[in-house]
Structure 1
Amino acid sequence: MAVKFNEYWNIIPDKMDEYIDFMQRRRVPTLKRLGINVVAMWSVLIGDSPQIISVGISEDLECCEIALKRNEYYEINSQLLHFVTDYRSKILIPSDRFPHLPRGTEKGPVKFSQYWDIIPGKEIQYDKFIREVHYPSMEGLGIDVVGEWKVLIGESPNIFYEARSDNESTLLQALTSQKFRMLKTELLKLVSNYNSRVLVYHTFEKK
């Protein structure tokens, strides 16, 4: 079962060029060699910082844990901290709610991520709502749900509900619609610590 290794940080502004060189030449290749393939990097367009989200995929939890215990990982991560601040990370595993959705992939060009905790005692109602109402309603708005993940290691919220859209204007139009507002109102009866971000691909472009 593929797992995600998500990392978050802010780039130190006057270290941008050095950061890009480091990521391209050192960090991404090193992680891949260790068994964590960086499949996408995102910039936060709308939502809370940190500004960068790096998404790595590992074959399974054991493979990811072995990689993170290697001295080579500690060294490359220590070097990263010369160029970024506010670093944090999470390990996520896929939920079993949508087994038909692709796992271990990242689609763009615009991503809409929602995060929450299920209110204790409302798990059954949540499951029914997500499967029968939320998922088809999101699809009806033109927002393609691509996965639901659970945080195994890392701070809450504990559920990551991820979707994509073909362009920013289509997504923003959907998110400001009455239908989405009503959908969110119903969702908030079942979850707490709700948050969301609109993400775009993070490209390595020097100033």
Structure 2
Amino acid sequence: MIDNITSRTERKKKETKQKIVSVAMGLYRAQGIKATTMEQIAEEVDISRKTLYNYFPNKEAIAAEYMKKYVQVHFQDLLQLLNDLPDTCSRLVAVTSTGEEWSRIDVPEDVIVAYREYRLQTFIQSFKDQSLRSGLSDVYRYIIKLGQKSGELRSDIDEKELANYLKMIVTVSFLSNPENYESQEIITKNIDYFLNGARNMSKS
């Protein structure tokens, strides 16, 4: 009996969370994330502001939850794409380009900007709190594991540690040059930093 009550409660929480995200994204698309308030979201979902804040601390966190689910929905398709590519470099290029393409399909630009700002604010926390992670780290880890399995990448370092290193490179790149963050030149440079570091390739 208690288990049934707990199950119903958890299901209700999940449904409420999904409704919050769905309603909020509808408002973001219709009027922009800046013009949307937490009070308006709560009213549209038909819950109190206190209840809304129990689920999400701010509008940006709702956008982050949507983006995380977006990655999860496309995760298997992405893994298949990565398996068909020949090496780590091409896989990293593909996952960056594909992520950018998916974002453009369904997510307004101002929401993407707000999402990135939120991810930067919670960057350090995300190493300890899995709920703050976007899901992209799992994709990085998969790519690295493929590279280690083929012998292309060194296997004496855990793939999680290497994925965190890659995430830090990408984050620092965004902080230093946010306007050109998604340019092919910057993407290529970040991948080169990760794969080759500061090594002088002309001396190899």
TM norm structure 2: 0.32
The structure carrying a bigger strand percent of its residues is 1
Q: Which has the higher contact order (CA 8 A, sep 6+)?
A: 1
The structure carrying a bigger helix percent of its residues is 2
TM norm structure 1: 0.31
